[in-house]
Amino acid sequence: MKNLDLQEIRKQLDEIDQEMVALFEKRMELCKEVADYKIGTNRPVHDGVREQQKIEAVTGMVEGEFLKQAVRELFTQMMTISRNYQYKQMAENGLQASHSFQPVKNLTVDGVKVVYQGVEGAYSHGAALKYFGSKASLYHVSTWDDAMKEVELGNADYAVLPIENSSAGAVTDNYDLLMKYQNYIVGETFLTVNHALLGLPGAEEKDIKTVFSHPQALMQCGEFLNSNRAWKKISVENTAVAAKKVIDEGDLSQAAVASETAGELYGLKVLRSQVNTNQNNTTRFIILSKEAVYQDKAGKISISFELPHKSGSLYNILSNFIYNGVNMFMIESRPVPGSNWEYRFFVDIEGNLSHASILNALKGISEEGRNLRILGNY
Strands of 243-336 (E only): list them. Answer: 254-258, 269-272, 282-289, 293-295, 300-307, 328-335
Choose, from 76, 239, 261, 283, the residue flagged as catalytic: 283
| Strand partners for 256 | 198, 212
Phi-psi region of 104 (alpha: psi -120 to 50; beta: other; left: phi over 0): beta
Q: How far is CA 45 from the centre of its chain?
A: 26
Spatial separation of the C-alpha atoms in residues 378 and 376, rounded to whole Å: 6
- Cα–Cα nearest to 223, from 260, 195, 185: 195
| Strand partners for 184 | 289
305 is catalytic: no
Spatial separation of the C-alpha atoms in residues 358 and 346, rounded to whole Å: 16
Which residues touch 190 (CB under 8 Å, ≥6 apart)? 282, 283, 284, 285
Whether the CB-CB separation of 350 and 299 falls below 8 Å is answered with: yes
285 is catalytic: yes
How crowded is residue 176: how many other Cβ atoms within 10 Å of its Cβ?
15
Choose, from 212, 224, 285, 345, the residue flagged as catalytic: 285
Phi, psi for 290 (deg, rounded to 5): -75, -20
Strands of 176-244 (E only): list them. Answer: 184-192, 196-199, 210-213, 232-235
Which residues are the active-site residues?
283, 285
